[in-house]
Structures are given as C-alpha cells and as structure tokens.
C-alpha cells in the first residue's frame, strides 16, 4: 500500500467522528480542509480505490431505527474459507466480516431492519454453508471512541 500524501492525511484525520449534515456536505467538509467540493469527492474516491479506506459512509444505529445487530462467528474449514466468505457476504445484512486466528475463524456482524430478521439471516447462512453459526447477541452496550491519526 502506498503512503498517504498530506491532503489524504488531512481528509482522514479531519473526517473521523464527524461529517457535515448539510445540503452540500462535501463542499462544507472540503472548505474546512482548503479543498473544493469536487476535490473532496475525488480524493475520497482515490482513497477508496487505492485501498487506504475500505468504506466511506455513515454508521447507522440499527437498534435506534427499530432493527437489530448481532455478532456471529463460524468455524470454517481452511479450504472453504473464501467460498463461505462469499456466501456470507452476499447477504446485504452483513456489515463486517473478518478472518480471525481462532477455532471460530470467521466473525461477522448481522445488522437488520427488524429484530426477528437476525435469526432468519443466520438460518439462511447455516443452510447455504452447511456450517453452524454461533450468534452472540449484545447483552450490554459500550461506547468506545476510536480515532486514528495518520
């Protein structure tokens, strides 16, 4: 992965934890960094295309919107990992999917618009993969502010 230039660093550092909720958010965010609206959109596109950012968008609180979120994990045979990841990731309800060095080597987040949909998505994944999904519903919520200066 290539090094970030000063403009890219300023964008990443400047946008963590806040993006303007205005009529022209890219214009307003860019103005704070000395960039035009077009430059801001273009730079973010380059960061995503180059792999420096994996995504750029809001984090929705599914529960506050009437939905649900559940952490889940699967023990996937090594030789099937890519195949199973494709099946799991094909579900629009899968927010994140990570490989872990653990017996349960695939961890993902199921985020749905209705609480009962969590069990349905997990059942679908189990049918498609032939593997048991271990659901780990949240029992308490913690807020951990996470910010990375680059």
> Please, what are the averages of pLDDT over each run of 10 residues along the chain (150 residues)?
85 86 95 95 92 79 83 97 96 90 95 93 98 93 75
pLDDT at 116: 92
Instruction: Delineate the domains of the chain, giving CATH numbers in brackets.
Output: 6-49 (no CATH), 68-137 (3.30.70.3460)
pLDDT at 150: 82
pLDDT at 100: 93
Most distant CA pair in the chain: distance in Å? 53
- Asked whether the beta carbons of 10 and 33 are under 8 A apart, the reply is yes
pLDDT at 15: 86
Please indicate, yes or no, whether the overall pTM of this predicted structure exceeds 0.75: no
Beta strands in the chain (DSSP E): 68-74, 94-99, 106-112, 133-137
Whole-number Å distance between alpha carbons of 147 and 19: 14
List Cβ neighbours of 134 (8 Å cut-off, separation of 6 or more).
72, 73, 74, 104
pLDDT at 148: 75
H/E stretch holding 73: strand 68-74
List Cβ neighbours of 144 (8 Å cut-off, separation of 6 or more).
none
């Amino acid at each position: 992965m290539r090094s970030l230039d000063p403009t890219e660093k300023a964008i990443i550092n400047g946008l963590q934890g806040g993006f303007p909720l205005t009529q022209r958010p890219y214009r307003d965010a860019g103005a704070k960094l000395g960039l035009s609206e077009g430059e801001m959109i273009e730079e973010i596109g380059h960061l995503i295309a180059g792999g420096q950012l994996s995504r750029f968008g809001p984090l929705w609180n599914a529960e506050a919107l009437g939905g649900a979120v559940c952490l889940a994990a699967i023990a996937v045979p090594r030789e099937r990992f890519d195949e199973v990841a494709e099946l799991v990731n094909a579900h629009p309800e899968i927010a994140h999917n990570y490989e872990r060095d653990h017996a349960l080597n695939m961890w993902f987040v199921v985020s749905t618009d209705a609480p009962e949909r969590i069990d349905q998505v997990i059942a679908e994944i189990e049918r498609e993969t032939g593997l048991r999904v271990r659901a780990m519903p949240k029992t308490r919520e913690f807020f951990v502010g996470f910010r990375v200066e680059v």
